[in-house]
Amino acid sequence: MWPVTTCSVTARVATLACGRAGIVLAAVVIAFSKYGTALKQFMADSRVELRKIVWPNRQETGNDQLVVFVFLLVAGFSSGVSISRSPGHAGTDRTRG
């Protein structure tokens, strides 16, 4: 383990400060470029569109869930019946032993 000296601590702090300054500088450059302007416009438009959404209430969600559950039961039962009546299905022909 290397001994921690003032120089190594100062170098680490300087490296972190330079890294953070670089990130801030990159953000400023991007913010004022055409890509940054387009990104800001996209974010603003997205926010407007998200406010237009009408979310279902608890009762509507429960009704939709019930409809899906019943449909799955009917679909499962009908596919189960059709599989059990197919000629190649194992276990349907009980006359052979």
Q: Return the H-helix or E-strand segment holding 46.
A: helix 34-52
Mean of per-residue pLDDT scores for the chain: 79
**Mean pLDDT value of segment 1-14:** 62
Give me the number of domains the chain comprises: 2
Q: What are phi and psi of 68, to 5 degrees?
A: -65, -40
CB within 8 Å of 90: residues ≥ 6 apart = none
Q: Are 15 and 8 in contact (CB under 8 A)?
A: no
> Which residue range is the domain that position 81 belongs to?
56-90
Does position 59 have pLDDT exceeding 70, yes or no?
yes
* 49 and 6 belong to one structural domain: yes
* 43 and 65 belong to one structural domain: no
pTM above 0.85, yes or no: no
How far apart are the C-alpha atoms of 41 and 27, rounded to whole Å? 16
* 3 and 49 belong to one structural domain: yes
